[in-house]
Amino acid sequence: MSDTALLVIDAQESFRHRPYWDEADLARYLGRQQALIDGAMARNVPVVQVFHVEDEGAFSLAAGRVRTLEPLRIVPDAVFQKRRHSALVGSGLDVWLTRTGIRRLIVSGIRTEQCCETTTRHASDLGYTVDYVAEATMTFAMTDAAGRRWSADEIRARTELVLAGRFARIATVEEALAGPGARRAA
């Protein structure tokens, strides 16, 4: 079995019911996320789906929206629910990874700078090798306290900047699937 697992974090319908939902980046994200899922499955890399759950609202189980973001097609090897930003806190994922012999994680999903970035930092601190596939993450524009509006692309670039070489290798879908030795073409 592979010592690598693909994490698909919070790629769920709940986000469509948030006021900041924006489909401008959706087609790109779905294409790259699906390519990553399909590539992992073809290489027998376990695919782990993580859902964010809250007691009320769009992320509550009662709302019926804690399910795969359509039209993604995924047949996960394991499914976990989390209530924190890091998928490694309180979900049981850490136990599963240890029992399964996973040492390398490929991180993808929604939101780039929140649950995906937090899980990446946490995994790195726990000793995992991490490939952060920013092109297979999605986020939304945000406005900071000074009133500056940050685009999704700016947030993605900032996340790549702070993770690269410290917490993760920033990888394309193809690089992540090729393994840790794959390098970006010049």
In a domain, 183, yes or no: no
In a domain, 36, yes or no: yes
In a domain, 161, yes or no: yes
Rounding to the nearest 10 degrees, give the CA dihedral for residues 22, 28, 32, 34. Answer: 70
pLDDT reported for residue 72? 98
Range of the structural domain that residue 91 is part of = 4-178
In a domain, 139, yes or no: yes
CATH number of residue 69's parent domain: 3.40.50.850
pLDDT at 2 exceeding the cut of 70:
yes
Number of compact structural domains in the chain = 1
In a domain, 104, yes or no: yes
**What's the pLDDT tens digit per position in 126-147?**
999 999 999 999 999 999 999 9
How do 149-150 and 142-143 pair as beta strands?
Answer: antiparallel
In a domain, 184, yes or no: no
Q: C-alpha angle with apex 109: 104 to 111, nearest 5 degrees?
A: 120
In a domain, 59, yes or no: yes
User: Model's pTM, two decimal places?
Assistant: 0.95
